[in-house]
Amino acid sequence: MVGGAAHAGAAGDPLITQVQDWASGHGDGVDATPYGLPVKYESDVIRRNVDWLTADTISSINFTPIHALDGTITPQGCAFERHHSGAIDLSKQDYRLMINGLVDQPLVFTYEDLERFPRENHVYFCECAANTGMEWAGAQLNGAQFTHGMIHNMEYTGVPLRTLLQEAGIQAAGKWVYVEGADASSNGRSIPLEKVLDDCLVAFKANGEALRREHGYPVRLVVPGWEGNLWIKWLRRIEVMDGPVEAKEETSKYTDLLGDGTARKWTWEMDAKSVITSPSPQSPIRHGTGPLVITGLAWSGRGAITQVDVSVDGGANWVAARLAGHQHDKALTRFYLDTDWDGREMLLQARARDATGYVQPTKNALREVRGMNSVYHNNGIQTWLVTPNGEAENVEVS
């Protein structure tokens, strides 16, 4: 008996003993679905927002339903997106990308121009710096979608930004780039040249197809392992500069106010983190005691995930989870703990370790260093209380 999972007998089950409609007639043809949508039974597997989080939907966030997904790829249709002045309508024909500043030759690229450069393909996670940010002050939101759903993981196809900058010719004084989008917010950010030359992509496909409008169609910037606010959508302009701009999105926003009133800045790299997606508040245990699959996601902006530990007693004891699938650098890793549940209360936690040896800290360890004023970069260990009836809720452990 592998796993020892429950099973039902056939006797008396009309689904087994009687011929069903779907086996005696025929189903619909599917010619009417040239682009197939999710089945009606999955209508709850959708992005959701938190209406009090931003003042207006023009600047808002829609969270991935990570509690209902499995594997590692996030489908575009339900993949997290953040916008600062709505999602604009920009055709490939109207698309232009300018490279200017400290370059030998300022350049403007059409969409078609971009398609003529050598492309790469990589699976990367994109996480908002504010993901889990509401948890600094304690357990706030009841569901993995809301606490950890500002993240997605897709296979991006694009041209290395390095290639385009080399085409323009970077001058010796150039040390940073300033990147901005074509939307009214422009969402301008500064990025050190070293990162840009390393692995940033000017991407035009995600999971094989064109970007969704809300993900920046037709072109977005991919900044692997770094906070999502840098992943400029509707990418319009890249200026090579000798220093950072200190723009709104990197001063009043996306910095970390510490307990002593000073602020951390340039905290781009996303620290190793994990969350149990099931069981969780939106994905309770419905099948009672016995075999139980505990599963979740882990990721690090510094490289691959090498280990995930799971605790069922609030961190007193830990067991290594099984990592299932490929552990790509700067991409989501799926983990499982195949266990038996005796029906007793659990305090479920996961703890990620990455290739640098970094281990995900507790929320309290983070608070000791960073205080309680921060909004961003909360990668503390999350706790779900699972009660004997199988329901789960977001709690803090001391």
Question: What tokens does 136 get?
Answer: 């600094």
- What is the total residue count of the chain? 398
Minimum CB distance to a copy of itself smaller for 83 or for 273? 83
- Cβ atoms of 158 and 119 within 8 Å: the answer is yes
Distance CA(233)–CA(212), nearest Å, equals 11
- Contact flag: residue 196 with a copy of itself (CB under 8 A): no
- Cβ atoms of 310 and 334 within 8 Å: the answer is no
For 208, the 3-state DSSP assignment is coil
- Contact flag: residue 338 with a copy of itself (CB under 8 A): yes
Nearest to 329 by CA among 299, 309, 358, 351: 299
Instruction: Out of 131, 132, 145, 186, point to the residue binding a copy of itself (CB under 8 A).
Output: 186
* H or E, element range at 21: helix 21-24
Nearest distance, CB of residue 111 and a copy of itself, angstroms: 11
Instruction: Out of 284, 291, 303, 388, point to the residue binding a copy of itself (CB under 8 A).
Output: 291
Nearest distance, CB of residue 355 and a copy of itself, angstroms: 17
- Contact flag: residue 137 with a copy of itself (CB under 8 A): no
Distance CA(228)–CA(64), nearest Å, equals 14
The CA R_g of the chain, rounded to the nearest whole Å, is 23
Q: How many CB atoms lie within 10 A of CB 310?
A: 23
Q: Give the interface segment with a copy of itself, choosing from 202-210, 222-230, 300-308, 384-392 (CB under 8 A).
A: 202-210
- Contact flag: residue 70 with a copy of itself (CB under 8 A): yes
Instruction: Out of 18, 52, 55, 89, point to the residue binding a copy of itself (CB under 8 A).
Output: 89
Minimum CB distance to a copy of itself smaller for 23 or for 369? 23
- Cβ atoms of 297 and 275 within 8 Å: the answer is yes
End-to-end CA distance of the chain: 39
Nearest distance, CB of residue 386 and a copy of itself, angstroms: 15
Q: Which of residues 35-64 bind a copy of itself (CB under 8 A)?
A: 35-39, 41-42, 45-49, 57-58, 60, 62
Site string for a copy of itself, 230-269 (x = CB under 8 A): ----x-x---------------------------------
Write down the H helix ranges in 258-354: none
- Contact flag: residue 87 with a copy of itself (CB under 8 A): yes
Nearest to 268 by CA among 235, 233, 229: 229
- Contact flag: residue 313 with a copy of itself (CB under 8 A): no
- Contact flag: residue 305 with a copy of itself (CB under 8 A): no
Instruction: Out of 137, 138, 173, 322, point to the residue binding a copy of itself (CB under 8 A).
Output: 322
- Contact flag: residue 194 with a copy of itself (CB under 8 A): no
Instruction: Out of 98, 197, 355, 397, point to the residue binding a copy of itself (CB under 8 A).
Output: 98
What is the 8-class DSSP label of residue 123? E
